[in-house]
Structure 1
Amino acid sequence: MRRIILSTESGADLPEDLAEKHAVQVVPMHVVMDGQDYLDGSLPVEDIYDYYDRSKKIPSTTSTNAHEYHDFFTKIQADFPDCIIIHIGYTSKASSSFQNAVIASENFDDLFLIDALNVTGGLTAIVMHAVTLLENEPAIESDRLVEKIKAIIPKSRLAFVPGSLEFLRAGGRVSNVAYLGGALLKLKPRIELIDGKLVSTKKYRGKMSSVAEKLLQDYLNQFDIDREQLYFQYSIGLDESIKLRVEEIAKENGFKNIKWMQAGAMISTHAGPGGFGIAGLEV
C-alpha cells in the first residue's frame, strides 16, 4: 500500500506540533523586509513589528515560486519513496502560490493539488480534516480522499479581526479616510473568506476584549460549527485575559477541543499585533 503524504503552505499557520505529529509537509512563503527576502518561519514575528515601529512601513509578502515547489515536491518524494502527495494550498484568490504549484506539478506523477480557498486557521481546519480522514481510513484510495477533502472546503469558516488598523493602512488595505474614521470611532473590521476572497463583512466598535467576544458570538450564531474541534488564531500582542475569556465561551458552547494557533510572519504582516480569529468546520 502506497503512503499518502499531505502538504500545505506556511500561510496555513499549521502548528509545528501538529505538522510533526502527522508528517504534514509545509513549504514556506516569503516576507520581504529591508530589501531582504526571508522564508516564512525563519523570521521572528517581533522583527516585523519592530520594523514598522521604526519605518512606519510593513514588509511585503510573496508566494512560494514554481522552482521552490519543484524542490519541495522532489524532497517529499525522496524522503517518502513511492508516496502519493496531496497538496492542500493557500487560496488562489489571494496569492499566486497555488498557480505556481500547478506549474511545478507538470513534472510530477502521483501529485494532487487542492485549492483550499482559505488561509491560516481556515486552511489548517481543512488540512487537519484530511489528516483525520487518512488516519481513520489508512487504505483509502487517493482519488477518494481528494474528493472528500474537496467536499469539506465550502464548510471551512474563518473570521478574524486584525489587531491594527495602522497595519492595514500601511499595507494599502484601507484608505487614510477610512483609517482615521475607524481610529476615532475605535472600529475594527471583521474579515471573512468568501469564495476564497478576503472580505470585510462587518465593523465592531470598542476595545479588543469586547470585540473578540462579539466576534465569537456572531460566529457561533452564524455558523453551525462541529463541536469536536475549534481553532483560535492570534497574533502576538493579544492579551492573555482575552484568550482565557473566549476559550471559556467556547467551552460553554460545547466545544470539546480548542487549538490555539499563533499567526506566523506572513499572516502577521497583514493582521498586525493583537489580532484574533476563529476557524472551524460546519457540520
Structure 2
Amino acid sequence: MSKIKIFADSTSDLSKNLIENNQISIVPLYVGFDDESYKDGVQITTKDLYTKVAEYDKLPKTSAPSPLDFVNAFKPFVEEGRDILYIGISSKLSSTLQNAKIAASEFPNAKIEIVDSFNLSTGIGLLVMKAVDFANEGMGVEDIAAKLRELAPNVETAFVPDTLDYLYKGGRCSATQALMGSVLKIRPIIKVVDGGMIVGQKARGKREKILETMLENALKDKDSMDKKRVFVTHTEGLEDANFLKEQLEKELDVEEVIITDAGCVISSHCGPNTVGILYILNEKI
C-alpha cells in the first residue's frame, strides 16, 4: 500500500477505470434542482441531469462539498497514517478548495497537501494522473505537491460547446451573444486561463470546421506537449470525441489519448455535445 492517498473532486472527470485502477478517491460536488440535491456522479448521471434541465427548464445550482465532507473523506486514511494529497477545481471557480483546506486544518498532525489546479474537468485530471505517476516513482507528498504547482500553469484546456444556451442560462454570456451565435453559427472556443474561463477564439461555420480549428490549435503545441497522455473530454459528444482522438493519435507522439465523459457539474455549465482537448506543455510558450 502506498503511503500517499490521492484525492480529487468530481469535476476532475476521470473515468471509472482510471479512478479504480489508481486507487484515487473522489469527493463529489453537489447538483441541485429546487429543494433536491444530488452528489455529482454518485446520485445523478449526466443523462439524468439533461432530463431534469428539460423538465425544470432551468439549469441546476452547483455547490461545493462541505468541510465536513472532506473531513469524513480524509479521516480513515489519516488514521491509517497515510499522507493525503488533494488536487481540486480552480479556487477561482468554486469554494471547494477552500473547504478542503478547512478540513485539513482539523488534522494538525497529518501530512495533507492541498493543490489548486487552477483548472477544471480533465485539466484537473491531468494533474491527478501526474500525481499518480510521481507517487509510483517514489516521490514524497510534499515534493509531488510542489511539482504539481509548477505544472498547473502549463495545463492547456480548450473546449467547444454545441450550443450557447447553457452558457447563457448560467450567466456566462448575454442573450444577445447567444442569439447572434445561433444566427451566425458562431461558437466560442473556451479556454481556461489563470484559473478562469475566457473566450479564447470565436469560430464561425459548421461544427466540423470548428472542431478542426480546435484540433489545429492543439497540434501547434505538439513539439512541446507532454508525451505521457492527452485527454479528449466530452459530454454526450462521443462521435466528435472519437474523431478528435483519431486525429490526435495520427499526429502526436504521445503514449495515450484518453477519452473521458464530463460529469454533471461540468456538463451543467457547458451543455450536451461539448467536447474539449486537454494536455500539459513541458514548457509554457
Tell me if TM exceeds 0.5. Answer: yes
Distance 1:243 1:215 in 2: 12
In the other structure, the counterpart of 2:24 is: 24
Aligned mates of 1:115, 1:157 — CA distance in 2: 15
Output the amino acid matched with 1:43. Answer: I
Distance (whole Å) between structure 2 residues aligned to residue 8 and residue 153 of structure 1: 15
Equivalent position of 1:71 in the other structure: 72
In structure 2, C-alpha distance between the alignment counterparts of 1:217 and 1:205, rounded to whole Å: 15
Aligned length: 277
The equivalent residue for 1:249 is: 247
* Segment drifting more, 17-26 vs 253-262: 253-262
Q: Is the CA contact (8 Å cut-off) linking 1:121 and 1:278 kept in structure 2?
A: no
Which residue in 2 is equivalent to 1:14?
14
Superposition deviation, residue 253 in structure 1: 1.2
> What is the TM-score of this pair, normalised by structure 2?
0.92
- In structure 1, distance between residues paired with 2:259 and 2:246: 13
* 1:198 matched residue in structure 2: 197
Structure 1, residues 123-145: CA drift from partner, whole Å, max 9, x if none? 0001101111111x22x232222
Describe the superposition over 1:22-54 as per-residue Cα deviations: whole angstroms up to 9, x where unpaired. Answer: 111110001001420100012021222122223
**Native 8 Å contact 1:5 1:24 kept in 2:** yes
Q: In structure 2, what is the Cα distance between the partners aligned to 1:2 and 1:180? A: 53
Paired residue type of 2:247: I
How far apart in 2 are the matches of 1:2 and 1:227? Answer: 25
Q: Structure 1 residue 218: deviation in Å? A: 1.2
Aligned AA (1:29)? L
Give me the whole-angstrom Cα distance separating, in 1, the residues matched to 2:92 and 2:131: 22
Please state how far the C-alpha of 1:2 moved relative to its aligned partner.
Answer: 6.8
Q: Report matched runs for 1:1-283 at 5 Å.
A: 3-41=3-41, 42-78=43-79, 81-108=80-107, 109-135=110-136, 137-138=137-138, 140-222=139-221, 224-236=224-236, 238=237, 240=239, 242-254=240-252, 255-283=254-282
Change (3 A) 1:193 1:280: same
* TM-score with structure 1 setting the length: 0.93
Deviations 1:173-220 (A, max 9, x none): 111111111110111111111111111111112232221221111122
